[in-house]
């Protein structure tokens, strides 16, 4: 085996070979055609561990081109270690321009957040998904859940939400809050806080969801209705804070809580670092 | 004031440098060569090749070196390399009758055609630490017998099969699906299950196999035969149209013979579980054979009540690369989800507190 095959330059553009990209693109097209439906695909081993964004990375690798601008966030921030690692990966294997600015990006790969800045036509939001099946914690068997989806038999989730109300007086589910896409398929929005769920509804950007370990891809095409499950007497609601962001003063964004001293003094700042920077009018670092 | 830590990039770089440094260890100790690894840690190499689904001793040794001896990490490295390789096609099925067996035993018969050959095995070694190895004492070469000229080594299973006592192996059916290229769908065919088990984590399969022996889906196994040695690999290039031998690989094969009571229509007959691994890996091959047999519960109209008989449970959790990644992803930041939980738990606590206070107030008012 020649040595050249062992170094980074011997890999194909964006790491995956072209046949694999074609296979993934076919899965994506099917996913777009059937919003919210989980399309099985021949997920590959990636050079990053399963559970660390391999699904999102494969989707991004299949759609990215040299004239794209990539943004990668984890927990809303561009500078969290795994976001840095994935951004470096694509800068290395796809020679792609990267940015931290939401407005500038053509492809945004995310884990656990949807950016606060509204997305536009033509942008693609790629979600990293750990467990694509919204019913998995209620029914561990794939053979069963596929049947439930086929029959639109989602009573079991409604019952689980009802049980939460019976026990706590409200729906205590806070993230990975189940949604119904285009009135047909129940979908896991990935572990984003339910705060972000309303942003999925009729979003002008294309949403692609990649689950590497579970080998599933699903999608929400632009402007598709996405409804968070609820009851008439217990409508869906999102998290609220009594505080505002300590840096930019925002009262509309998702706030992270930080413990700043040994006495447990707390401080709240925007989880979306780019949004916060933009509001403060600071230049990109 | 505290702001989110910047400089993740630099931190990662430093972490990688430190990792490379720790891998090298004390500089006054000579560096390990990959050749030393595949010669002297050969069984580690075998495991990495098997679960990495890539027969290449040199690359497996490199992976072990790079992973600092962490075999699951080495398997991951080899898999991530393998997945980028082009595929030329499928080899012809291995014919293990043509194996130049270095070891071959059967526990079902006292003697078998071709004989019982112990070969290199830990089985009869006394597990006493050999302090002579610490002193790096050279060991003289073992005496070897002349090569057996017999071209074929009949399988023990073949003999039972002729009598009709043992079910025949499944006939070659439709072309197999490669589970590294197409996603696993359930229920899975036996070839798909066997591929999954061959790549499956040895520890996981060992525990499952053990559980069947302790009553969680017992299938009354006997080792029909275990053989280890080199087998030729043949391939038919399209432009030639006939088979040529392209390699010789070491494999361990386990043919497990299991009891089966029969039914109204089928006379009692022994059934089989099958295990195959690259290199010398008897524990893996045996565990695989036991789990393969356990997973045939439905096919053989047995009631499947135990974890080892549960296809979805076994196949979905056997892969060490998937399992290791997902368990360890909990190290990634989860503070957004945790924040959501904090908000709701505080809210719920406040509501309970308010109810309690109201109740106390009501009691006082009475």
* Whole-number Å distance between alpha carbons of B31 and B52: 25
Q: What is the mean pLDDT of residues A115-141?
A: 96
Contact list in B for residue A215 (CB cut-off 8 A) is 183-184
Distance CA B197, CA A192 (A): 34
Is the per-residue pLDDT at B111 higher than 80? yes
Of A174, A213, A269, the CB nearest to B344: A174
Question: For residues B222 and B233, what is the distance between their CA atoms, to the nearest angstrom?
Answer: 29
Res B4: pLDDT: 44
Predicted ipTM of the assembly: 0.83
Which positions 211-270 of A are in contact with B (Cβ < 8 Å)?
A: 213, 215-216, 239-241, 246-247, 254-258, 260, 267, 269
**Residues of chain A contacting B327 with CB distance shorter than 8 Å:** 51
Mean pLDDT score across all residues of chain B: 90
pLDDT in tens, B272-308: 999 999 999 999 999 999 999 999 998 888 889 999 9
Query: B11: pLDDT confidence band, cut at 50, 70 and 90?
Result: confident
Q: What is the pLDDT of residue B3?
A: 41
Decide if A36 is catalytic.
yes
Q: What is the predicted pLDDT for the residue at B133?
A: 86
Nearest chain B CA: its distance from A33 CA (Å) = 20
pLDDT, residue A50, reads 92
Tell me the per-residue pLDDT of A179-213, one tens digit each, with 9 for 90 and over: 999 999 999 999 999 999 999 999 999 999 999 99
Is the CB of B6 less than 8 angstroms away from the CB of A194?
A: no
Q: Which tens digit of pLDDT belongs to each residue from A237-259?
A: 998 899 999 999 999 999 999 88
Can you tell me the mean pLDDT for A255-267?
Answer: 88
Residues of chain A in contact with residue B340, where contact means CB-CB under 8 angstroms, are: 174-175, 193-195, 239
Place B168 in a pLDDT band, splitting at 50, 70 and 90.
confident
Q: How high is the pLDDT of residue A40?
A: 96
CA separation for the pair A113, A134 (Å, rounded): 17
Chain centroid to CA B27: 35
- Of the candidate CATH numbers 3.40.50.11310, 3.40.1710.10, 3.40.30.10, 1.10.10.10, the domain formed by A3-228 belongs to 3.40.50.11310
Task: Clarify whether A270 is annotated catalytic.
Answer: yes
Chain A: give the shortest CA distance to residue B53, in Å: 12
**Average pLDDT for A165-170:** 90
Counting residues of chain A whose pLDDT is more than 70, the rounded percentage is 96
* Residue A236 confidence (pLDDT) above 90: yes
B148 CB-side CA count, 13 A: 15
Best of A8, A45, A61, A234 to disrupt the B interface (most B CBs within 10 Å) is: A45
Model pLDDT, residue B164 = 85
Put simply, the answer to whether B6 touches A191 (Cβ < 8 Å) is no
Using a CB–CB cutoff of 8 Å, tell me whether B174 touches chain A.
no
State the pLDDT at residue B112.
85
Both structure tokens of B159: 């003999």
Structure confidence at residue A4 (pLDDT): 34
Give the least confident one: A5-9, B117-121, B265-269, B322-326.
Answer: A5-9
CA atoms A144, A150, A155, A157: torsion sign: positive
| Per-residue model confidence (pLDDT) at position A270 | 94
pLDDT average, residue stretch A104-126: 97
Which of B51, B340, B348 would best serve as a mutation to test chain A binding (most A beta carbons within 10 A)?
B340
* Closest chain A C-alpha to B87 CA, distance in angstroms: 11
CA angle, residues A168, A142, A86, in degrees to nearest 5: 80
Residues A75-98: pLDDT tens digits?
Answer: 999 988 889 999 989 998 998 999
Q: Residue B6's pLDDT band (boundaries 50, 70, 90)? A: low
pLDDT at B174 (0 to 100): 65
Q: Minimal CA–CA distance to B88: which of B173, B178, B174? A: B178
Give kind and range of the element (H or E) at residue A198: helix A197-200
Residue A3: pLDDT band (50, 70, 90) is very low
The Cα diameter of chain A in Å comes to 68
pLDDT of residue B150: 65
**How far apart are alpha carbons B255 and B74 in whole angstroms?**
28
The two structure tokens encoding residue B106: 């059967």
Considering the entire predicted model, what is its pTM?
0.88
Rg (CA), chain B: 27
How far is the alpha carbon of A44 from chain B, nearest alpha carbon, in Å?
6
Lowest mean pLDDT among A7-11, A170-174, B107-111, B176-180: A7-11
Q: In this structure, are residues B183 and B137 in contact, taking their beta carbons and an 8 Å threshold?
A: no
| Sign of the Cα pseudo-torsion (B149, B151, B155, B158, in order) | negative
Interface residue A199 vs chain B (CB under 8 A): no
Task: Give the CA angle between residues A197, A199, A203 to the nearest 5°.
Answer: 130
Q: Domain residue spans in chain A?
A: 3-228, 240-285
Alpha helices in chain B (DSSP H): 8-24, 34-40, 42-51, 57-66, 71-82, 131-134, 156-162, 190-199, 202-213, 282-294, 311-317, 320-328, 335-365
- With a cut of 90, say whether residue B52 has pLDDT above it: yes
Element (H or E) spanning A85, and its range? helix A81-93
């Amino acid at each position: 085996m020649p040595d050249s095959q062992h170094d980074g330059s011997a890999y194909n553009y964006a790491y995956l070979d072209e046949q694999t990209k074609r296979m993934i693109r076919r899965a994506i097209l099917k996913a777009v055609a059937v919003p919210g439906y989980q399309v099985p695909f021949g997920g590959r081993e990636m050079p990053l561990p399963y559970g660390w964004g391999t699904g999102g990375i494969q989707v991004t690798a299949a759609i990215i081109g040299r004239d794209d601008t990539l943004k990668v966030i984890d927990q809303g921030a561009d500078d969290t270690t795994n976001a840095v690692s994935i951004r470096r990966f694509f800068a290395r294997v796809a020679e792609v321009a990267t940015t931290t600015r939401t407005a500038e990006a053509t492809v945004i790969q995310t884990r656990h957040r949807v950016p606060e800045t509204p997305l536009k036509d033509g942008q693609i939001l790629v979600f990293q998904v750990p467990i694509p099946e919204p019913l998995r914690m209620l029914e561990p068997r794939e053979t069963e859940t596929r049947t439930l989806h086929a029959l639109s038999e989602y009573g079991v989730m409604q019952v689980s939400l009802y049980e939460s109300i019976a026990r706590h007086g409200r729906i205590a589910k806070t993230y990975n809050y189940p949604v119904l896409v285009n009135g047909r398929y129940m979908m896991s929005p990935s572990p984003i806080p339910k705060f972000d769920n309303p942003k999925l509804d009729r979003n002008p950007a294309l949403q692609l969801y990649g689950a590497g370990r579970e080998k599933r891809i699903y999608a929400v095409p632009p402007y598709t209705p996405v409804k968070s499950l609820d009851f008439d007497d217990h409508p869906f609601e999102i998290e609220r804070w009594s505080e505002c962001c300590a840096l930019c003063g925002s009262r509309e964004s998702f706030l992270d809580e930080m413990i700043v001293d040994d006495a447990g003094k707390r401080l709240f700042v925007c989880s979306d670092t780019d949004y916060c920077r933009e509001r403060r009018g600071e230049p990109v670092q | 004031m505290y702001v989110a830590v910047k400089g993740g990039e630099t931190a990662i770089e430093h972490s990688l440098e430190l990792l490379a440094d720790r891998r090298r260890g004390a500089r006054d100790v000579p560096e390990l060569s990959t050749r030393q690894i595949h010669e002297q840690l050969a069984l580690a190499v075998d495991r990495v090749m098997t679960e990495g689904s890539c027969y290449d001793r040199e690359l497996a040794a490199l992976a072990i070196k790079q992973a600092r001896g962490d075999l699951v990490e080495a398997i991951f490295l080899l898999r991530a390399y393998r997945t980028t390789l082009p595929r030329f096609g499928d080899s012809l099925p291995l014919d293990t009758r043509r194996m130049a067996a270095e070891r071959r035993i059967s526990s079902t018969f006292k003697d078998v055609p071709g004989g019982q050959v112990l070969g290199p095995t830990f089985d009869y070694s006394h597990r006493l630490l050999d302090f002579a190895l610490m002193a790096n004492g050279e060991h003289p070469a073992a005496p070897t017998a002349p090569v057996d000229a017999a071209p074929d080594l009949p399988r023990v299973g073949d003999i039972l099969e002729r009598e009709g006592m043992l079910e025949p192996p499944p006939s070659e059916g439709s072309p197999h699906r490669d589970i590294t290229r197409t996603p696993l769908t359930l229920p899975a065919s036996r070839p798909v299950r066997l591929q999954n088990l061959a790549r499956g984590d040895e520890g996981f399969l060992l525990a499952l196999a053990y559980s069947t022996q302790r009553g969680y889906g017992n299938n009354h196994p006997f080792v029909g035969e275990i053989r280890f040695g080199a087998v030729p690999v043949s391939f038919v290039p399209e432009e030639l149209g006939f088979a040529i031998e392209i390699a010789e690989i070491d494999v361990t094969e386990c043919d497990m013979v299991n009891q089966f009571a029969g039914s109204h229509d089928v006379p009692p007959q022994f059934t089989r579980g099958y295990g195959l691994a690259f290199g010398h890996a008897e524990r893996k091959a045996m565990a695989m054979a036991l789990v393969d047999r356990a997973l045939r519960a439905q096919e053989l109209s047995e009631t499947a009540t135990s974890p080892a008989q549960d296809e979805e449970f076994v196949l979905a959790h056997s892969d060490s690369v998937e399992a290791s990644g997902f368990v360890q992803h909990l190290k990634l930041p989860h503070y957004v989800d945790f924040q959501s939980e904090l908000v709701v738990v505080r809210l719920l606590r406040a509501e309970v507190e308010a109810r309690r206070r109201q109740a106390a107030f009501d009691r006082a008012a009475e």
